[in-house]
Amino acid sequence: MKIAIAQLNFRIADFEGNLNLMKNAITEAERDEVDLIVFSELAVCGYPPLDLLEQRDFIDKCTDSIQILAGCTSKVAVIVGAPVINPNEKGKKLYNAAFLLSDLNIEAVRYKTLLPTYDIFDEYRYFEKNFEFKIVQFRGINIALTICEDIWDDQPVENTFSRTRLYTDSPMDFLIRQHPDIMINISASPFAANRLNAREEVLRQNVAKYRIPLFYCNQVGANTELIFDGSSMVLRPDGSIADRFTPFEEEVRIYVLENLMNPPEAGATETETNLSEEYRIEMMHKALVFGIKDYFRKMGFQRAVLGLSGGMDSALTLVLAAEALGVENVIAIMMPSRYSSDHSITDSVKLAENLGINCRLVKVDPVMDSFLGQLIPEFGGLPEDVTEENLQARIRGVILMALANKMNMIVLNTSNKSEAAVGYGTLYGDMNGGLSVLGDVYKTDVYAIARYINRIAEIIPYNILLKAPSAELRPGQKDSDSLPEYDVLDPILYQYIEMKDTLNAIISSGFQKEVVERVISLVNRSEYKRFQTPPILRVSSKAFGLGRRMPIVARY
């Protein structure tokens, strides 16, 4: 029996486009005499559809898509995910379902049991839990058909305040009693650079326990802040990995089931998972480029504009945007003020020349002087403070938004996760934009990605990597005037945000009590700022936005 896995990039609510992707894959599968082709979770509508699931017309189009796909199965059977209406009078309106389509019919439907309600997931908001377990039979093969989280009942511990067993039930424990020959799991599992081995660990764990092959089909594609890397896999009964898909790429691969039932041939070696620091940075780089590219493509935009300050964050954002969109579609705006250093201009110009980017200059001082002329009488003789600094940042924000409006572009926000965490940014100024590229990248990783980009040749001028970070909003200003050094700040932030460690636990790991208290206070007090930022490309297991829901008005 030939089984194909289709790792494809679906667009949310693009029913025609998603159907065409699957139809093309089915046509190719027919030519290769495939028996069964597998698509990912909620493939007909894209994942995550969020509150579109509350609209009856949306669900009707999902139902229609399933019927159309069934009409394409005269030669090749299909497994595909879609929402389906719960036929019972009680419970949530919908199930998250996996369909087996064959011989022009709907042969079987299975429902998702484990509905994640953590981090970016909120599936119990929409779906009813499954309570009935039954294998799927297809041409003499018994299939344990599961949906994403259904095989994550026992998962790696992410932090000190989490459990490995999040659920009381294990769907596979019920299904294995019916003696399935293989497991098929359709998934929509997002990318996280700090958990590169977690997914593989879960898959191996399932195969080790149940001793049958596992076909794992994950979607690829970026949907707003969520980036799905695909990385689909096939595992043999002995737990060895028969194949891994290329991350961040659409692929269809075919397997002969009988060849997977036995251990690999003598002398065959399995490629080990690369968990090196360099690989983590490489994957972050790929994810960010992919996230930008897919966001613009799916939003219908082609061009981006950003402020180029001569600093590290804007330099990296420019390089990533150029790689994602093409240099002809990216415009960099230098906006120096009286506080900008000469090297901020020269470094920016050199970077733009290295990339072949259109770089323009718009001066801030004339606008600043005009604003102050109007506002100084209203300030009533009060001394200069952060107000004047913020005013410069907001002028720059207005300039960028005006250019974006006039030329049908998206402003790329250049703030990093370290700054966003502690509120080191200006609302409606350097925190504005249509997409935050580095909002889930700590400053130390910003430098690491820049060094990775420069590994072969100097693209980002070395002076940008070497000079002290500064907002340049007052004479001689440095980030370290207001914040701990980033090699101290970032580990504290990681422990507090990703690991959810307590203040005492962070202190006990070797940091000064006063520093930790101040950092945590800044994080907690800055929630109102983060609430108003653009969507952030998620490349970690705990990004600001959908995955970290904190009250704005709180005393903790």
Q: Where are the beta strands (DSSP E) in 394-480?
A: 410-413, 435-436
Number of domains in the chain: 2
Tell me which residue has tokens 């081995």.
197
Which residues 6+ apart lie within 8 Å of 136 measured at CB? 100, 107, 108, 110, 142, 143, 144, 145
45, 148, 217, 359: the catalytic one is 148
Q: Are 442 and 493 in contact (CB under 8 A)?
A: yes
**How far apart (Å, rounded) are the C-alpha atoms in residues 493 and 542?**
11
Task: Look at residue 261 in the predicted model and tell me its pLDDT.
Answer: 86
Whether residue 166 has pLDDT greater than 70: yes
Confidence of residue 482 (pLDDT cuts 50, 70, 90): confident
335 lies in the same domain as 407: yes
Distance set, CA 376 to CA 366, 383, 387, 388 (Å): 15, 10, 11, 10
152 lies in the same domain as 61: yes
Task: Look at residue 359 in the predicted model and tell me its pLDDT.
Answer: 93
Confidence of residue 479 (pLDDT cuts 50, 70, 90): confident
Terminal Cα distance for the chain, rounded: 59
What percent of the chain is predicted at pLDDT more than 70? 96
DSSP result, 192-224? -GGGTTHHHHHHHHHHHHH-S-EEEEE-EEEET
239 lies in the same domain as 322: no
Mean pLDDT of all residues in 434-460: 97
Residue 270 lies in a domain: no
195 lies in the same domain as 285: no
**How far apart (Å, rounded) are the C-alpha atoms in residues 546 and 535?**
9
For the entire predicted model, the pTM comes to 0.94
Peptide bond into 247 cis (omega under 30): no
What range does the domain containing 305 cover?
Answer: 281-483+526-530
Residue 495 lies in a domain: no
Task: Look at residue 71 in the predicted model and tell me its pLDDT.
Answer: 97
259 lies in the same domain as 288: no
Residue 536 lies in a domain: no
46 lies in the same domain as 78: yes
45, 62, 112, 128: the catalytic one is 112
Task: Look at residue 163 in the predicted model and tell me its pLDDT.
Answer: 63
Task: Look at residue 320 in the predicted model and tell me its pLDDT.
Answer: 98
**Which CATH number fits the domain that encloses residue 132?**
3.60.110.10
Residue 354 lies in a domain: yes
83 lies in the same domain as 215: yes
Of the candidates 552, 530, 535, which has an alpha carbon nearest to the alpha carbon of residue 423?
Answer: 530
Which residues 6+ apart lie within 8 Å of 31 measured at CB? none
The amino acid present at 255, given as its one-letter code, is Y
Tell me: the pLDDT tens digits for 253-296?
A: 999 999 998 877 766 666 667 789 999 999 999 999 999 999 99
Residue 499 lies in a domain: no
**How far apart (Å, rounded) are the C-alpha atoms in residues 450 and 467?**
14
Task: Look at residue 159 in the predicted model and tell me its pLDDT.
Answer: 63
Task: Look at residue 448 in the predicted model and tell me its pLDDT.
Answer: 98
Residue 351 lies in a domain: yes
62 lies in the same domain as 124: yes
Whether residue 472 has pLDDT greater than 70: no
Residue 504 lies in a domain: no
Tell me: the pLDDT tens digits for 508-519?
A: 999 999 999 999
Does residue 45 carry a catalytic annotation? no
Q: What is the mean pLDDT of the chain?
A: 94
**How far apart (Å, rounded) are the C-alpha atoms in residues 343 and 465?**
12
344 lies in the same domain as 384: yes
Does residue 41 carry a catalytic annotation? yes
**How far apart (Å, rounded) are the C-alpha atoms in residues 194 and 192?**
6
372 lies in the same domain as 227: no
Mean pLDDT of all residues in 467-496: 83
Distance set, CA 236 to CA 258, 309, 335 (Å): 11, 52, 57
